[in-house]
Amino acid sequence: MADTTLMSIPGQVDPVPVARDITPREDGRVDLIGLPKDRIRELFAEAGLDPKQAKLRAKQVFHWLYHRGVTDFEAMTDIAKTMRPWLTERFVIGRPEVVEAQHSTDGTRKWLLKTADGHEFEMVFIPDADRGTLCVSSQVGCTLNCRFCHTGTMKLVRNLTPGEIVGQVMLARDALGEWPKGSMAGLDEAEDEGHYTSDGRLLTNIVMMGMGEPLYNFENVKGALKLVMDGDGLALSKRRITLSTSGVVPMMDRCGQEIGVNLAVSLHAVTKEIRDEIVPLNKKYGIEELLQACADYPGASNARRITFEYVMLKDKNDTDEHARELVRLLKQYKLPAKVNLIPFNPWPGAAYDTSTPERVKRFSDIVFEGGISAPVRTPRGRDIDAACGQLKTSAEKKSRAQRDREAAEAIEA
């Protein structure tokens, strides 16, 4: 089992086990993935390097880890040959373990991954003509039990660590062959002129839309995204990263201030009655409060709109009136908004059906006529259960009654 500490999370009754920043390993070595440069420097100093050396080595190692993607200290060619075994004795460069990799007929890829202490989680890569999006998980399971979401039927096992979150991005770069060529041992520097070789589908965007609620794991998500955005690290622009929340209002401002990525909000309904039913967190943070937090979101502008996700559930939230009310609300709060209409992706035992394509089209037209862009998101990777809301591993399942009970308790808390 991982060494964990207990931390209480808003809206959550029981404390959720959270792995420490450094998960102790049986061999006593420390996994550097997930650690910021300063923390690496500290560890080098604690292991005996003088402050100047520790700083220099941390800078070099950081670059090799996050910019070049090496997984072996021997490949760090600008570090003295004698220094490399010193590093290998004390540190490791980890990746989440791949349990299974699947390829959809539409090019979507899904990986079932495993933490060092045996918990399974998933990530998905979705290639498009002009971009490649990695859908990253933040938790194993989710406590929030949205009625239409398969992940919500999983028992939350724990938050993922920064290393396990950034590790997904690194693993995707490994799998897509997207590190600069020179990162591979044996190739000389002359060959390293930014040849990002992939199968033509580069990883250009990241969405925190895999398993879990990222704002219930704020610190770890923040730590991981800082490494993704670091110019000396994975160097992805914050404009290419989107965090999706089901509406954890108290953490939204900090998300904008401290992480600064694009925001997506899982709205899904425009009346209290319906949203209470399908997104139970609404009983705690209602629609008005949520939209006000969106209006106040730091950095949102017409150039950087907030995405409102709206899952289309047949005869539930998909009428013309709902569409008009959606436009009215978004205008009332003067939101720089775009709406993403997601046809419901069914899963066995789900209580809902997908709206008909005609209904989705009509809904989209009404929102569009209201002056707000409302594209319909084409489901991707359905044949490998990689589509939105389908991510669920074989981890422990909860009964419906147990989930309802927990949702009620979470809301009262």
- From the list ligand SAH, ligand SF4, none, partner contacted by residue 344 (C-beta under 5 to 8 A by kind): ligand SAH
Q: Which two tokens stand for residue 141?
A: 């399971």
The H or E element that residue 176 is part of is helix 162-176
Query: Amino acid identity of 324?
Result: R
Query: Amino acid identity of 354?
Result: T
Q: Which two tokens stand for residue 392?
A: 């669920």
Q: Which of 159, 244, 262, 317 binds ligand SAH (CB under 6 A)?
A: 244
Q: Which of 40, 65, 75, 149 binds ligand SAH (CB under 6 A)?
A: 149
List 122, 178, 277, 406, catalytic entry: 122
User: Contact between 94 and ligand SF4 (CB under 6 A)?
Assistant: no
- Per-residue DSSP letter, 201: -
- Residues 130-149 touching ligand SF4, rule: CB under 6 A, are 142, 144-146, 149
Q: What are the φ/ψ torsions at residue 169 (nearest 5 degrees)? A: -65, -40
- Per-residue DSSP letter, 22: S
- From the list ligand SF4, ligand SAH, none, partner contacted by residue 145 (C-beta under 5 to 8 A by kind): ligand SF4
Active site residue 122: yes
**Does residue 120 contact residue 394 with C-beta atoms inside 8 Å?**
yes
Q: Toward ligand SF4, which CB reaches closer, 183 or 220? A: 220
Cα 270 to the center of its chain, rounded Å: 25
Burial class of residue 199, CB neighbours in 10 A (0-12, 13-18, 19+): exposed
User: Contact between 217 and ligand SF4 (CB under 6 A)?
Assistant: no
Query: Amino acid identity of 268?
Result: H
The C-alpha R_g of the chain, in whole angstroms, comes to 22
Binding pattern to ligand SAH, positions 371-390, x when CB under 6 A?
Answer: -----------------xx-
Q: Toward ligand SF4, which CB reaches closer, 9 or 149? A: 149
User: Contact between 390 and ligand SF4 (CB under 6 A)?
Assistant: no
Question: How many other CB atoms are there within 10 angstroms of residue 332's CB atom?
Answer: 11
Catalytic residues: 122, 388
> Applying CB under 6 A, which residues contact ligand SAH?
146, 148-150, 209, 213, 244-246, 266, 309, 311, 342, 344-345, 388-389
> Applying CB under 6 A, which residues contact ligand SF4?
142, 144-146, 149, 151-152, 212-213, 246, 266
